[in-house]
Structure formats: C-alpha cells, structure tokens
Amino acid sequence: MSDAHDLYLYRRKGNYAPRVGAVHDLCGYGNCSLVVAITIVSAAGCDVCPVPTSLFSANTKFPVFYMHDTTDILNDYLDAWNKEKVDLDAIYSGFLGSATQVDVIKRMYLEYPHALRIVDPVMGDDGKKYPTYTQEMCDATRELVEGADLLTPNLTEASLLTDISYEGQDVDDDYVHRMIDALLTMGAKSVVLKGVVRGDGKIRNYLAGEGYAPAEVIAEELPYMLHGTGDVFASATLAAIMCGRSLYDAVDFASTFVHDAMVITREQPDYEMRGVTFEPVLGEVTDLLRK
C-alpha cells in the first residue's frame, strides 16, 4: 500500500491556469461558501467559475437570514456555458439549495468527464443538520459520494452519509477508520475526515485513498469555534491540490491556513458571527505558486 504523501490528484503544467467550477451558495455577509471558494482558489492561480446554488443575505449562524433557491436557473446557466464552450478542470461542490441540484452536479460530471470531482458535503455540524437541509437533501447528497476524487466531510456529515451514529468530536481511531472505510466503500476515491478533537489541544484531520494507507494531520486546536471553517479548509485543500501538492501536503497546508486565519478572526469585532477572516493570510496561498 502506497504512502499518502505520494497521492497526487492534479499535476499543474507550466503557467496554465486551471478552471474550477465552484458549485456553492453565495452569502452576502459572514465569510463562507462562494466568497471563500472564489478568493482562496483564485489566489492559487485558478480561474474560478461560480455556479451559485442559492443566495443568502447572511450565513446561517445569524438568527435572521434570507435565502433564495436558484435551482430553476441552473440548467439554463449551464446551457449558456455549453454554447460558449466553457471547459473545466475541476468541479468543486459545497452547500446546495435543493435536492434537485444534485442532478445539476451530475450533469456537470457528464459534460466534463475529465474534471476532478471535489465534494464538500456541507450538510451540518455538531451532530445536527443545517436548518435548510431536509432528509431528502441529505439522501440526494449521498449520490455524490460515488466517484468523488476527494470527499471532505466533518464527523456530522460523515455520519449523515454513512448512517454510522454520530458520537461527538472525541472519537478513537477505530471509529475514524470505520467511517472512512464506509465512505470509500460507497465509492469515494479519496476522503479527508475533518475535525477530530480529544481534549489534548490538538485537532486531527484524517485522510485515505484507494490503495493508500490512512494518514493523520495534526494542528493546534484553538479554544473557540467559527462558522465557515469547513469552507475555508476545503478551499485551501483544493488550492494546494491545484498547485500540484500531494493530498497529504494539501491537508497539512489547509490545517495551518485555517489556524492562522482563525487567530486573526479573533481580533475582529463580532468575530463569532462574521465567518473566518482569511484575507490577511492569503499570501500563504499565493506562496504555493512560488515554491
């Protein structure tokens, strides 16, 4: 079995700017989703092409927010891309506005069969589904596991996908490997399971892929939680992958990037609500192109 340090999902060629279709919601306030994906992946020298799954006035951490589901426009949106012969090197999906949007992503997979498939199944956290996610949407999202080149769930999302009971964030390695094995059996080619904490001041992210031994990436755990860290983590992981880094190195980079952004976020007004202030550390992403 090979080492995870040798697992590469994308090989960058010269000055070519890879084109990434980012299938996420657009949030007006509270850094998350497309604002995060466009900015971070663009900083890695990629051409990010957004496919907005819904529009939000603010992230769902706020007690009051407006949501507009964009399902009805998406097929026309993609039809226009086809007429312009838009091509994609990767398809990166996240928060969805309806169960039907899974069919939109599947359409993209058919039309861009060569594109890398990155699935961040944004369904919930802390053992609970997000307020806009129904069981129908969770069931539909399971269909994106099969064939995903990279799947990046947290423990709650992995539980929703596999039907393995959620046992909190402090879980042992046997539980982690059982969860990852279930996701690989469902058809994911590589998995990063995020956010295992055991009260020792560390946060652990686990990764594994077909034919590759499981590996663990450890970062410092900070004594506070922020909405949107999963979006930042997945986007930073993809940014490193598109710069030609191995999956292990990409997860290690993303873990550090999220930590550094969270430290800066703590210094902002209303930091618990506003999402992750990642902008001041974007230089860490652009440095990937120079190294």
Q: Give the model's pLDDT for residue 273.
A: 85
What average pLDDT does the chain have? 95
Ramachandran bin of 207, using left for φ above 0, alpha for ψ from -120 to 50, beta for the remaining angles: beta
Q: What is the pLDDT of residues 46-89, one digit of tens each?
A: 999 999 999 999 988 888 999 999 999 999 999 999 999 999 99
Tokens encoding 81: 């891309």
CA dist 203 and 205 (Å) reads 7
Q: What is the pLDDT of residues 98-140, one digit of tens each?
A: 999 999 999 999 999 999 999 999 999 999 998 888 999 999 9
Task: Assess contact for 258 and 15: CB atoms under 8 A.
Answer: no
Q: Give the model's pLDDT for residue 213.
A: 87
Question: What percentage of the chain has pLDDT greater than the value 90?
Answer: 87
Q: What stretches of 133-172 show up as alpha helix (H) in DSSP? A: 135-141, 155-162
Q: What is the pLDDT of residues 186-197, one digit of tens each?
A: 999 999 999 999
CA dist 156 and 113 (Å) reads 30
CA dist 274 and 3 (Å) reads 38
Q: What is the pLDDT of residues 19-55, one digit of tens each?
A: 999 999 999 999 999 999 999 999 999 999 999 999 9
Q: What is the pLDDT of residues 161-220, one digit of tens each?
A: 999 999 999 999 999 999 999 999 999 999 999 999 999 999 999 999 988 889 999 999
Burial class of residue 289 in the structure, from the number of CB atoms within 10 Å of its CB (0-12 exposed, 13-18 middle, 19+ buried): middle
